[in-house]
Amino acid sequence: MSLSESASVEADAAQLDAFLASFDDLTADGRDHSALEQRLERFLAGARAETSGRRVVMITSGGTTVPLEKNCVRSIDNFSSGTRGAWSCEEFLERHEGYDVLFLTRGGSAQPFVSDFQEVLFSEEREDPTYLHGCVDKVMRYCHGPRFLRVEFTTVFEYLHLMRMVSKHLRPLGSRVMVYLAAAVSDFYVPADRLPMNKIQSRDRVTGDLALEKTPKALGVMRHRWLPEAMMVSFKLETDESILIDKARAAARLYDVDVVVANLLHTRKDVVQLVVRGQDAPIVLERAGDRRLEGKLVATLVDRHERRFVVNERELS
């Protein structure tokens, strides 16, 4: 990294720290973070053991919110259902045993093995309970087992605060970590000093007060400061196909991530394009019939993670 790039990462990191500090009362969110850190340490102990060789994937999933009041009644939200993240968790847990899964999930969004549970439970057509029992069995087997840890967020501040904290614990695992950033993170927020303490009254005019600021990006800081050795997979969502790949390439270059998974809002369940660092043409992955796209997506990324180790070993020998 050049001197000016390194200075720019330092500036981004400082900006992110200042951003989180300005929302300290909201990021603390009443949770006992020291208890969470202890849970994290217990969860990572197996992978940390020197001879384990286990890998850890951190999957982020669902949309973040931006509060409009400190005592929040209203917030700005986004479309993300968390399905990509939940289904990807299932893939890692069921088909890639060498990975432990840390799932950072938006409260109330889709969860592994039960993403369609309510729909099926209340459907008039499907009365056979076998499917539902199967879902519960899988939750008990995988999500209540030692390979899975689930942590919830709601606001963009909680999300970025968790990312910074969790990264600190993952860092000693070096290149055995894969970061899989499928969450849809709010790009804009209302600064703390402009947030009213209490519920905005319906008689008030809010137009003048709703100017939004740009949320600091975490990707570059994560790549260069928090988890420099991890395999980083970020996602790029657009609604205009003509700019998708250029934007994904720009993100790959700017943040130096290993893979950018590019998708369009309305076809995100059917097709993704993988922009891989150092590779010209994107890899196109399409859903085959009823089979979820996440099967191919996760298998391709696991394969690239594996190849990274082979390359590193060659460089060392």
DSSP assignment of 75-130 equals: EE--S--SHHHHHHHHHHHHH-TTEEEEEEEETTS--TT-TTHHHHHT-SS---TH
**Least Å from the CB of residue 44 to ligand PMT:** 22
How far is 146 from 301, CA to CA, in rounded Å? Answer: 23
**Least Å from the CB of residue 133 to ligand PMT:** 25
How far is 213 from 191, CA to CA, in rounded Å? Answer: 7
Which of left, alpha, beta for 174 (phi over 0: left; psi -120 to 50: alpha)? left
Nearer to ligand PMT, 40 or 105 (CB): 105
**Least Å from the CB of residue 41 to ligand PMT:** 25
Residues of this chain that interact with ligand PMT (CB under 6 A) are 80-84, 181-185, 187, 215, 217-219, 234-237, 263, 268
How far is 181 from 183, CA to CA, in rounded Å? Answer: 6
**Least Å from the CB of residue 214 to ligand PMT:** 8
Paired with 285 in beta bridges are 272
**Least Å from the CB of residue 18 to ligand PMT:** 14
**Least Å from the CB of residue 138 to ligand PMT:** 19
Nearer to ligand PMT, 47 or 257 (CB): 257
Nearer to ligand PMT, 198 or 267 (CB): 267
Nearer to ligand PMT, 155 or 263 (CB): 263
Helices (H) and strands (E) in the chain, counts: 10, 12
Nearer to ligand PMT, 236 or 305 (CB): 236
How far is 20 from 22, CA to CA, in rounded Å? Answer: 5
Nearer to ligand PMT, 173 or 181 (CB): 181
Length reported for the chain: 317
9 exposed, middle or buried (CB, 10 Å; 0-12, 13-18, 19+)? Answer: middle
**Least Å from the CB of residue 52 to ligand PMT:** 28
How far is 13 from 15, CA to CA, in rounded Å? Answer: 5
Nearer to ligand PMT, 15 or 71 (CB): 15
Nearer to ligand PMT, 4 or 239 (CB): 239
**Least Å from the CB of residue 80 to ligand PMT:** 4
**Least Å from the CB of residue 257 to ligand PMT:** 8
DSSP strands (E only) in 143-258:
148-153, 177-181, 188-189, 213-214, 231-238
Count of CB atoms within 10 A of residue 13's CB? Answer: 19
Closest CA to 262 of 276, 250, 275: 275
Nearer to ligand PMT, 200 or 212 (CB): 212
